[in-house]
Structure 1
Amino acid sequence: MYPHPSADVQRARDAVAARLRELRLDAGISGRELAVRCGWSESKSSRIENARTLPSDSDLRAWCAACHADNHAADLIAANRQSGEAYVQWRRLQRTGLRRLQESGASLYERTSRFRVYCSDVVPGFLQTPEYATALLASIAAFRGTPDDVKEAVAARMRRNRVVRDGKHRFFILLEEAVLRHRIGEPDTMAAQLNHLLEATAFPHVALAVIPFTAERTVWPLPTFTIFDTARVHADSLDAAVTLVQPSQVDLYSRAFEGLARDAVRGEGARLLISRAAESARQ
């Protein structure tokens, strides 16, 4: 048996179910009447409303139509998809390990033109060295108790990361200074990783900035997230990268990214912070 889905995923499912119940109550109809209008069983309405069954897009459209609330369908579908995708990702991790997660994101990376990446904990996967990625993924696999496929997962990550150099994509990366100071792996591993970050500041399609410890903050430090064009956000939690696709959610994270960027230093300022961290890592 697999463990129960994460609390975040379940809360997302419960939120969709609660909203559907509100629409039914606002329409003044019973679960039985809603089932009749939708052309399905009363038990199906109950399972959906109590978050025991994940509704399909057509189920949600039918529910909204039955409640004369068609204008709510698009947001509900987006919210429902994000909870479903996070659940699938969590189950895949439990079942098959880390390699499949790396490979599953490859097509999304290829079709994304602009990446906006904010990291508050570790170096973003796009810019990780194989040794750093090995140390990081090994610790994740050990913590989560997933299959030990770290070597394969690192190879998949390195293949995926070719998008950084192929000239077809642009990367805007913001790092908290803490990312430079949290040691992952042996001192030589961390120093080499930081040297690679220095090299990345010269990549033609990468804009890298660092938010110093001493910056006067206009936006507080946040959990790591990535914005893919203007279509979706992956926001990290302990057990999954939750996918956010509602336009209002993407806009919220875009505004947060802009605010965080105002607190960052670029160019020589960023390279100085990285160089100092690299010197400290060797000691």
Structure 2
Amino acid sequence: MSTDFQTAREALGARLRELRAEAGLEGKDLAAELGWQPSKVSRLQNGKQTPAPADLTAWAQACGRPDVEAELQGLRAGLEMKQRHRSWRRQLAGGHRGRQEIAVRQTEATKMIRGLEVSRVPGLFQTPEYARVIFDANAEFRGIPPTTEAAVEARMRRQEALYDPEKTFRFLVCEAALYHRSCPVDVMAEQLDRLYNLVGQRRIELGILPFGTQLRRTAPHAFWIYDRRLVIVETISEELWLTGEDDIQLYERAWDWLAEAGEYGAPARRLIGRARASLDLG
């Protein structure tokens, strides 16, 4: 659970406790009034449990303050936003390894992953050296501990899922990602060789969105769809974890529209091969 979320939940709990005290009620009295166990009142006002909307309505009425219900519901809505928004500053405070272990578990729990990458190779397809450069650069950028080797190990372990016969991977990569080079030439060459060899493998659909292709929907940012239960979107400052049906449908439509413009199979290999040939290896 994110610290941002817990802090916001504790703030809501403190407001509930304040309302109870202003009403001159002990916790056990409020519980009896509402027909709850006293432990529920304790958990809610100490930020140990997330209240349901009906809980807040009942609490406000029992305290004789129906006028504050809208305020309480607004605080709860803020909780949901904190749960969706996960700051990189907090997630990576101890380095990359922890977030990579979360990625391993998410992948293990998923049958189909669909993803779009705009400017870099998807982590599931990265070589160890390419991943190492990405992690080192990000640690420097964010000023976090360089736990690179542990993060690379976790990322490579995550890639074992590519060979699970129960899983399917469908990815789109903008052609620009084949040319954007944040690593030495030899590392990029090895990475492009790996991508080339992944095209056409069973359970892996890798499409390239070519320069100059007409798109029904542009590709504004990267995103990953885990089955039909979760969409993860990365920004510079945070991740968005979206679980609402409307959000998932919207990103599925975006993925479908982009997939129409993808090049697959032999045409995808030609695009990767052209990028590989552009590298000057001396």
Residue 261 (structure 1) aligned with residue 254 (structure 2): no
Q: Secondary structure at the match of 1:188?
A: helix
Cα distance change on mapping 1:159 and 1:116 into 2, 3 Å: same
Contact kept in structure 1, 2:206 and 2:264, CA below 8 Å: yes
Contact kept in structure 2, 1:227 and 1:234, CA below 8 Å: yes
Cα distance change on mapping 1:78 and 1:254 into 2, 3 Å: farther
Larger Rg: 2
Q: What's the offset of the Cα at 1:83?
A: 2.4
Report the aligned-residue RMSD.
3.3
Q: What's the offset of the Cα at 1:87?
A: 3.4
Contact kept in structure 2, 1:132 and 1:189, CA below 8 Å: yes
Q: What's the offset of the Cα at 1:106?
A: 1.6
1:272 corresponds in structure 2 to 270
Given candidates 124, 141, 146, the residue that maps to 1:126 is 124
After TM superposition, the score normalised by the length of structure 1 is 0.74
Contact kept in structure 1, 2:126 and 2:191, CA below 8 Å: yes
Amino acid at match of 1:148: P
**Cα deviations across residues 205-228 of structure 1 (Å, max 9, x unaligned)?**
100001111101211122110000
Cα distance change on mapping 1:247 and 1:55 into 2, 3 Å: farther
Q: What's the offset of the Cα at 1:61?
A: 4.3
2:38 corresponds in structure 1 to none
Q: Secondary structure at the match of 2:86?
A: helix
2:194 corresponds in structure 1 to 196
Count of residue correspondences: 240
Amino acid at match of 2:161: V
1:184 corresponds in structure 2 to 182
Cα distance change on mapping 1:64 and 1:164 into 2, 3 Å: farther
Cα distance change on mapping 1:269 and 1:100 into 2, 3 Å: same
- Structure 1: how far apart are the matches of 2:105 and 2:239? 16
1:92 corresponds in structure 2 to 91
Stretches of structure 2 that go unaligned for 5 or more consecutive residues are 13-17, 32-45, 61-65, 67-74
Q: Percent identity over the alignment?
A: 30
- Structure 1: how far apart are the matches of 2:162 and 2:82? 29
Residue 109 (structure 1) aligned with residue 107 (structure 2): yes
Amino acid at match of 1:214: G
Given candidates 158, 161, 164, the residue that maps to 1:163 is 161
Residue 57 (structure 1) aligned with residue 56 (structure 2): no
- Structure 2: how far apart are the matches of 1:56 and 1:116? 33
Cα distance change on mapping 1:143 and 1:89 into 2, 3 Å: closer
Cα distance change on mapping 1:78 and 1:32 into 2, 3 Å: closer
Cα distance change on mapping 1:112 and 1:146 into 2, 3 Å: same
Contact kept in structure 1, 2:87 and 2:239, CA below 8 Å: no
**Cα deviations across residues 194-241 of structure 1 (Å, max 9, x unaligned)?**
010011113211000011111012111221100000001000101332
Cα distance change on mapping 1:182 and 1:61 into 2, 3 Å: farther
- Structure 2: how far apart are the matches of 1:157 and 1:206? 17
After TM superposition, the score normalised by the length of structure 2 is 0.75
- Structure 2: how far apart are the matches of 1:170 and 1:147? 34
- Structure 2: how far apart are the matches of 1:134 and 1:201? 23
Stretches of structure 1 that go unaligned for 5 or more consecutive residues are 18-30, 41-52, 68-75
Q: Secondary structure at the match of 2:279?
A: helix
- What does 1:9-158 align with in structure 2 at a 5 Å threshold? 56-58=49-51, 60-63=53-56, 80-81=79-80, 83-84=82-83, 86-87=85-86, 90-94=89-93, 96-158=94-156
